[in-house]
Amino acid sequence: MILRKRFFTVLLIACIVGAIYAVSRAGLSVQPAEEAEETEEPLFGRRETLYLWYTDEALTDYLNSVAVAYNDYQEEARVIPVYTSGAEYLETINQASLHSEEVPDLYIVGNDSLEKAYLAGLASEIRVPEGVLPLKNYYTDTSIHAATYHEKQIGYPFYFETSSFLYNRTYLEDWARAQLEAERDVAEAEAAEAALAQNGPEEEAEAQEENPDGAGSAEGAENAETGDLTGYAIGEEEVAARVAEALPETIDDILAFADVYDAPEQVEAIFKWDVSDIFYNYFFVGNYIDVGGPAGDRDDSINIYNENAIRCMRVYQNLNQFFSIDTEEISYAGILQDFIDGKIVYTVVTTDALAKIEEAKANGEFQYEYGTSLIPDVNEELVSKSLSVTQCVVINGYSEHKDMANDFAVYLSCYNADNLYDRTGKMPARTGVDFENGNVQAFIAEYEKSAPNPKMIGTSNYWVEMEIAFARIWVGNDANAELKSLSEKIMTQIRGEEYTEEYIDVPEETPEEEEYTDEGMEEAAD
């Protein structure tokens, strides 16, 4: 019995010692509470946990790396990114906020969902931390408006999506060089005729014998400076300048270029874009349709049916006779691939296109050079404006750690934007970021003047209805009637009662006859 008691005593002591050792190895204090404050704080031992929710898997590695850096940067909180499905995203956040112990403290969401988030208590007004410059020092008005609801800043702009104009630079450079060479040849012929008339045949023959080439001579260089291309080799700077001059400022410029362009055999279309998707079509009417004002949150600022919008959509409709694009067969992915294959000279793309083109270039699948520019205006009178969507970092109204979540939101959106594009292909909303790829600048410029995706719950189906209207107009439906019907649907939803627009009589403009069509070009190539 005594032996058994001694055995249990030894066993108990061993268990106690083992427990103490295990606890100490885990980094936990075994000292009394009053003495614990004087010891070194263990890793994450006293930190609050912040959960960051997001729906785009392409952000996973980037967000994890930022979270790790932030955890090392300060000692109050640790951030855990949580990837979740985009289906019923806000409802899932709401349910987790009400019933889960792991409440999403902050999350990334599109600006079009901010009204719903705010009214549900899932978005709280942000607080710019002390020592941080005003938001206008970090963001453009476009991005600030995107993250605003009824003059309250309820999010930090993170990254954006918009469209821009993409062109095959190699094709344009070849065309420009051919144009300059033709002009030089004409100048040489005119100079020869002038010399012949002045000097006579014998003196001119002697001059040719003394300087048979002309090219590279001092006289040739002098002539180049004065505009005379006689004997002058075309320089790359001249080619670049001619390409810049040739970039279309209007859709009419594209049509005019198509009339004079001797396209290579592989080119199937001068201009082709996804007419089935509102995101690539909206620039036709974006400058003349207002859905919610600059921030997209005012139900008293709705203007869909107006004269300029009707005129824009008629121009859009008339393009169907020049560009034979089937809405049932077209797709953005297919068009981008056609561009990579050299089948298209001009198109409209979103920011993701650059990464795909660069990847194809690295793999040897893209044999050309390319460039971007602002989307051409509809014509000399009607200005284009693209659509944009801004992803924002939002502080959950149900979070118990709003200040900490707010600090991390600033860290993520303001201080860690420099490598966002390189790591994810996402275009940061933060200004002042340097990009290795200069073609990014066209998207930034387009974004600054873009039309925002509206936030209002009452206009949640606006884009679907607008896309339907575009499709109907493209195949021949009356543009005036379609815009009138669309406006009446949206206004009825906003006001909660039947709304009828007063008919606007806009006389039809007879389009000028043009010879160019993509079909005609394909037949000529065959």
What does the alpha-carbon distance between residue 103 and residue 99 come to, in Å, rounded to a whole number? 8
- Break the chain down into helix, strand, coil percent, rounded to 5: 50, 15, 40
- pLDDT, mean of residues 6-21: 38
Residue 422, both tokens:
């390189």
Contact present, 384 and 287 (Cβ < 8 Å): yes
Amino acid identity for residue 221 in this structure: A
Residue 436, both tokens:
């290795």
E-strand ranges in 253-320 read 269-271, 290-291, 302-303
What does the alpha-carbon distance between residue 64 and residue 53 come to, in Å, rounded to a whole number? 12
Kindly state the percentage of the chain with pLDDT values over 70: 81
**Bridge-partner residues for 344, per DSSP?**
269
What does the alpha-carbon distance between residue 113 and residue 296 come to, in Å, rounded to a whole number? 11
Task: Domains for the chain: give ranges and CATH numbers.
Answer: 13-38 (no CATH), 48-154+391-428 (3.40.190.10), 170-242 (no CATH), 249-388+448-525 (3.40.190.10)
Report whether pLDDT(139) > 80: yes
**Range in 27-41, 157-171, 191-205, 460-474 with the lowest mean pLDDT:** 27-41
Residue 310, both tokens:
């009707």
> Positive or negative, the Cα torsion across 283, 163, 273, 278?
negative
What does the alpha-carbon distance between residue 453 and residue 458 come to, in Å, rounded to a whole number? 13
Report whether pLDDT(483) > 60: yes
Alpha-carbon torsion angle 319, 322, 328, 331, nearest 10: -90
CA distances 314 to 83, 229, 254, 470, Å, are: 44, 44, 17, 11
At 127, the pLDDT band (50, 70, 90 cuts) reads: confident
DSSP string over 186-198:
HHHHHHHHHHHHH
What does the alpha-carbon distance between residue 164 and residue 291 come to, in Å, rounded to a whole number? 21
Tokens 């902050």 — which residue?
106
> Which of the two residues, 127 and 516, has the higher pLDDT score?
127
**Bridge-partner residues for 451, per DSSP?**
387
Summarised one tens digit per residue, pLDDT across range 357-400 is 999 999 999 999 999 999 999 999 999 999 999 999 999 999 99
Contact present, 334 and 349 (Cβ < 8 Å): no
**Bridge-partner residues for 349, per DSSP?**
164
Contacts with 420 (C-beta within 8 Å, 6 or more apart), sequence order: 62, 159, 426, 428, 433
Report whether pLDDT(144) > 50: yes
At 39, the pLDDT band (50, 70, 90 cuts) reads: very low
Q: What is the pTM of this model?
A: 0.82
**Range in 103-112, 226-235, 266-275, 297-306 with the lowest mean pLDDT:** 226-235
